[in-house]
Amino acid sequence: MKKQGRRGFLKSVALAGGAAASAPAQTAARATAASAAAGPCEDGLTAVAYPRKFTGRKLAMLAFPLGGVGAGSIALGGRGQLRDWEIYNRSEKGRSPSYAFPAIWVQAGDAKPLAHVLEARMLAPFEGRTGLGADNAPGLSRLEDATFTGEYPLATVAFHDSRLPVNVTLEAFSPFVPLDPEGSGLPVAVLRYRVKNPGKVAAKVAIAFAIDNPVIAEGGGANASSAARVNDFKTAEGLAGIFMHNPSLGAAAPRAGSFSVCVMDPEGGRVSHLSGWPKARWWTSPLLYWDDFSADGELGPEKGEHNGVGSLCLQRTIAGGAETEFTFLLAWHFPNRTPARMGWSSDTGFGDTVIGNHYCQRFADSWQAARYAAQKLPELEERMRQFLTAMRETTLPAAVREAAMANASTLATTTCFRTADGRFFGWEGSGCCHGNCDHVWNYETTTHHLFPTLARSMRETHLELSAKLDGAMPIRVNLPLDHQTGGAAAADGQMGQIVKAYFDWQLYGDTEWLRQWWPDIKKALEFAWIPGGWDANRDGVFEGVQHNTYDVEFYGPNPMCGIYYLAALRAGEEMARAVGESGAADGYRKLFEQGRQWIDQPVD
């Protein structure tokens, strides 16, 4: 297997979004087969097939994030179910509406129709004190099995069931296009069910999505008032759907917003809907819904009182041997992000300030987001698939491709978000350890190569804060930005951010950007020289007390922080020369040479 260095790998990923467009594409099947047939890597590691497939009990705990970069996410589980609804501006693993599931109805020729929840059967471990509980009506029939193929940003679930006269495969994704953070930042999830009729007679097929209106007050759950929630059926060109909102919530309520479940390209089929399930005692409502859907593959007519579970159905007739698509689009819009509610620790005293979401500045509500996504989807999906093809066809070991693409999915989780002003922020982990932590984000390079403007946004935020604090760069950025007055600096974190600024400049090639930020970069680098600082005597060696990524203090010279400093000096030299400050560049080079010689000396 041909070896490729780290630089070559990163370059191939960075250029994938553009280069793939001009490269002749192999078929997906050919590329996948070649990957699966790969033998052991040259380093002796066991080869991993790319893309990876999961079956059986391995499906139980999978969670594949669907959502735009920095725009919240809903996860797709291994069985084809929805889980982990993290669209409310904070990490909420395990949160889901009481009901959110698709169902399929099929009648082949004159045969008796049948209906199933369009998910594979439930698998242990059954989480929670109630076991299966009542959510999503676990007593309803589900499909026998499934195979899950994970290839971020695309997940494929092939359903298997001996009772179904049709073959069903789900493709789930959100647009993800390198170098295009706006096209990749939509608050939407696409769920496309491909249905093939292998028989000789035509089959009527209906797929319905039922979702309990998720726009509820903080702390609301299964018993949330249905009277306050409104599910409006709406149509637009190439789109039909249910717009879910809650007029009873004040505009400033933490979970005020909207959600839409839509079906794309309904022309040629029959759309029906329910603005709510029939209202009944206990758990009778799901059964009444099921009786309605399973009878004829349509919903309605509505009569009497109803609850908040909106349902949308599309029925099509599929000729023998033919295939068709049912494309559902989920969209959300929840603007009231605050530091306090999401747990972004802050000592500013302004934790309840709404800092918002960038996507909410682009769209007035979820229906507008859905309409935009539907219009742009053909173009965005084509570019996304070019990226996937580029990764499939590279000669990199499958294990490396899998690692690269799986880690890119972090950008679509609640680990990352964009505030209303467009700035990009990240936790150390989803909902844990706030602040664009500079020494932790030093380790990360995915954002640089896929979305360099977002990486630069992080840099600019750190540099602005550092300039305001006389060159000290706090490890963590508090929100709102205007109110931070201090914070501890980490030696490796601050020097690493200077190297990253060089990295930003080299990757993007924007010297005007470098000129704009150079005074702040220079100030942050020379902060190392303050009295009592890390290199107070300016000999190129860190001797001062150095807080670092291990959350401890290093005392005196050490290789880790010392090498970060040397790297920052060299990066500073190159940047200084580029902006015409040769004197500063010579000074940085002199310190680098002194420090390098000292740190490279062998120890007796």
pLDDT at 425 over 70: yes
In this prediction, residue 130 has a pLDDT band, given cuts at 50, 70 and 90, of confident
Report for 66-70, 301-305, 600-604: range of highest mean pLDDT: 66-70
Q: What per-residue confidence (pLDDT) applies to 30? A: 36
End-to-end C-alpha distance for the chain, whole angstroms: 42
pLDDT at 518 over 50: yes
> What is the average per-residue pLDDT within 286-303?
96
Q: What per-residue confidence (pLDDT) applies to 310? A: 98
Q: What per-residue confidence (pLDDT) applies to 47? A: 66
Strand order in the sheet with 154-160: 52-55, 145-151, 154-160, 167-173, 188-196, 323-333, 258-264, 239-245, 230-236
In this prediction, residue 29 has a pLDDT band, given cuts at 50, 70 and 90, of very low
> What is the average per-residue pLDDT within 493-514?
96
**For residue 74, what are the β-bridge partners?**
66, 85
> What is the average per-residue pLDDT within 387-406?
94
In this prediction, residue 221 has a pLDDT band, given cuts at 50, 70 and 90, of low
> What is the average per-residue pLDDT within 274-285?
93
pLDDT digits (tens, 9 = 90+) for 71-83: 999 999 999 999 9
- Residue 244 CA to residue 522 CA, distance in Å, equals 51
- Across 473-577, the runs of DSSP E, i.e. the strands, are 546-547, 553-554
Tell me the whole-structure pTM to 2 decimals: 0.90
Helices (H), 104-200: none
- Across 125-227, the runs of DSSP E, i.e. the strands, are 142-143, 145-151, 154-160, 167-173, 188-196, 203-212
pLDDT digits (tens, 9 = 90+) for 317-350: 999 999 999 999 999 999 999 999 999 976 667 8
> What is the average per-residue pLDDT within 511-528?
98
Angle at the Cα of 515 (from 510 to 518), degrees rounded to 5?
Answer: 115
CA 406 remoteness from chain centre: 11
**For residue 155, what are the β-bridge partners?**
150, 172
The answer to whether 262 and 279 have CB atoms below 8 angstroms apart is: no
Q: Using DSSP, state whether 420 is helix, strand or coil.
A: coil
pLDDT digits (tens, 9 = 90+) for 520-545: 999 999 999 999 999 999 999 999 99
Helices (H), 394-442: 398-408, 438-441
Hey, what are 341's tokens? 């509610």
Q: Which of 510, 416, 527, 511 is nearest to 463 (CA)?
A: 527
In this prediction, residue 13 has a pLDDT band, given cuts at 50, 70 and 90, of very low
pLDDT digits (tens, 9 = 90+) for 443-486: 999 999 999 999 999 999 999 999 999 999 999 999 999 889 99
Q: What 8-state DSSP symbol labels residue 363?
A: -
Angle at the Cα of 126 (from 122 to 128), degrees rounded to 5?
Answer: 135
Q: Which of 238, 241, 240 is nearest to 265 (CA)?
A: 238
The answer to whether 84 and 96 have CB atoms below 8 angstroms apart is: yes
**DSSP symbols for 46-101:** PP--SSEEEEGGGGTT-EEEES-TTS-EEEEETTS-EEEEE-SSS--TT---S-EE
Half-sphere exposure of 166 (CA within 13 A, CB side): 36
CA 357 remoteness from chain centre: 14
Q: What per-residue confidence (pLDDT) applies to 10? A: 36
Q: Which helix (H) or strand (E) holds 270?
A: strand 270-274
> What is the average per-residue pLDDT within 210-219?
93
